[in-house]
Chains A and B, each alone.
Chain A
Amino acid sequence: MTLAVASGKGGTGKSSVSASLVLAIQNLLAVDADVEEPNLGLLLGAVPLESTLITLPVPAVYGDCCTRCGKCVSGCMFGALTMFGEAPPQVNDLCHGCGLCSMVCPEKAITEVDKPIGEIRHCRTSREGDLYEGRLRVGMPNPVPVIEDLVKTILDMDGSKVIDCAPGNACPMVAGVRHADAVLLVTEPTPFGAADLELALQAVVDLKKPVGVLVNRSDLAAADIKGLAAKYDAPILAEFPFSRTVAEAYAEGTPPAAMDTRWKSGLREIWEYFERKLDQ
């Protein structure tokens, strides 16, 4: 099974839950798909072993062959090619790597070159487990190709996996959950947590996968998570109260399951719940 851990609101405890799952379930492959800010490795004591570059195919224009017809410039939907005066078209950071420009060039003056936008790191955790981490290159605008490459890479591997997704409810989050078998949404019962959970539920219900909710810091406030979960037919699978010990340990890089046995047993039950759900 591949379980995606997502949240809507940031900072509700996605990485804590993912890292704790790795401690609770044997031989679970850890995957960090929050490629803008990958943190799962910090909680698992991960050491990088090897790195694979992720690239985007961007155009390179051969000025000698280019007749300055401008078909690539007007065809590009992203404004990624500009042309001034006599110079051949210039490419900027807005390029999405769709390949349209090289396709429409009548002179075949455009070829594609690989531009590095990130990397996939294979790491070994302190407990001899494996972690695959996506990392967007700083300054690059689009994390989605890095997430997609990462997810493709790990889906081909054997065994069970947990994917720690990006926060929010936009395309980076969906790219992380889209190929998973089931989704666990981590929230907290604050007004912010509830508002963002509803958006996250709306984003994932369409994917028609088993969805469950974990309420972290369940005693911190009293927003109606139960009502929301019921509205979208997503069961609440665990509630963990706020613990200063857990918060302090997290700050130093220790996952909750290492501090609090309730996390370990609660997450085992969640894992079994999804396995049963998928067997049906």
Chain B
Amino acid sequence: MKPREIVVISGKGGTGKTTFTSLLAASFGEAVICDADVDAPDLEILLKPRRINEQPFWGMQTAEVDPALCTGCGTCVAACRFDAIAMVDGKAEVDTSFCEGCDVCRRVCPEKAISLVDTRQGTSYEGLTNLGPMWHARLNPGGENSGKLVQFLRESALHTARERDIPLILTDGPPGIACPAISAMTGADLAIAVTEPSGAAFHDVERLSQVTARFGIPTAFVVNKADLAPKLAEKLKQEARTRNWKILGEIPFNRAVVDAVAEARIPVQELQEEIQLIRKRLDNLL
């Protein structure tokens, strides 16, 4: 049987995805855990995986100019649509953080001074935690192709789940609604959006729900820091009802939770009741 996959997303950053994922992992006791927020990966701080394997992540190839052959004609600079090549001291120079590896410059260069080379964009890790095997990664700062890395992590997590006969994959997703977020959620059985009662978070979750609808992913919501703006939390719940969004539960803003996370500890005791209730509704949903 294909393992079930739950992905935790948010639209807006900083609403509490990672802490919530750790709580969910603790409540299930065993799952394959996947941190898909590869350019700001923090789940390992709470789950403390023991590393058993690591491998380099090669993204798209990027262009490289041989300065001995470059005559500084500028044909490549004009042809590049990504502003990734600039003329520096009469020679073309590639900014790898913007090069998309499209191959246009190599083809237009009259001197054949450009080649495409493999570029390491980060590292992926396989680890073991008390709550199950874990896949996570680190994208090089400023790097791209994070969607590809996310896809690799999810495929690896699925492989591990099948191999070890673990029926559940828990994925901590990235913020936003573009390529890494789409890569993290496509094909998942359920997306849980962690939101908070603020105008900004509401705006973001609305856009996020359009994305999950577009990709056909069932979505449920958790309202974090619900007591910080009770009126807005109430409005959020009303909106959710009119839109048929499923709310799994609420989590209050609690200094003890912040303190637990500051000690790199999953706030299991601090939020026991809330998580039990969320789990009950989640199990009904699954």
Q: Which residues of A contact B (CB under 8 A)?
A: 7-12, 15, 36-37, 39, 42-43, 57, 75, 77-78, 96-100, 103-104, 136, 138-144, 148, 166-175, 190-192, 195-196, 199-200, 202-203, 206, 220-223, 244, 247-248, 250-253
Contacts and interface: CB of A to CB of B under 8 A. Distances in A.
Interface of B: 10-15, 18, 37-42, 45, 60-61, 79, 81-83, 97-98, 100-104, 107-108, 139, 141-144, 146-147, 174-182, 196-200, 203-204, 207, 210-211, 214-215, 228-229, 232, 253, 258-259, 261-262, 264
Contacts of A175: 98
Contacts of B15: 10-11
Going nearest first, the 9 A-B pairs with the smallest beta carbon separation are A11-B14, A10-B13, A98-B102, A221-B262, A203-B141, A251-B229, A39-B200, A36-B176, A202-B141
A168 B174 CA distance: 9
Given A10-B12, A167-B13, A167-B176, A252 B199 contact: yes
B243 to A, nearest CB: 15
22 contacts: A9-B40, A11-B14, A12-B14, A36-B175, A37-B177, A37-B200, A42-B200, A77-B100, A77-B101, A99-B104, A136-B178, A139-B211, A167-B176, A168-B39, A168-B174, A190-B262, A195-B42, A248-B228, A250-B198, A250-B200, A252-B199, A253-B199
A204 B3 CA distance: 40
Give chain B's interface secondary structure class: loop
A36 B179 CA distance: 10
B142 A169 contact: yes
Contacts of B232: 251-252
A42 B203 contact: yes
Nearest to B181: A36
Nearest to A167: B13
Contacts of B143: 170-171
A68 B203 CA distance: 46
B114 to A, nearest CB: 14
Contacts, number: 196
A190 B264 CA distance: 9
Nearest to B17: A10
A10 to B, nearest CB: 1
B107 A103 contact: yes
A42 B258 contact: no
A15 B38 CA distance: 22
Given A37-B13, A168-B175, 4 more contacts: A39-B204, A98-B104, A167-B40, A192-B42
A177 B201 CA distance: 23
Give the interface centre of A169, A174, A248, A250 by most chain B CB atoms within 10 Å: A169
Contact of B264 (A136, A142, A191): A191
A247 B224 CA distance: 13
Given A42-B199, A191-B42, A77 B261 contact: no
Contacts of B102: 77-78, 96, 98-100
B19 to A, nearest CB: 9
Contacts of B199: 39, 42, 251-253
A97 B80 CA distance: 11
Given A100-B107, A171-B97, A9 B13 contact: yes
Nearest to A200: B141
Contact of B262 (A220, A248, A253): A220
A259 to B, nearest CB: 14
A138 B40 contact: no
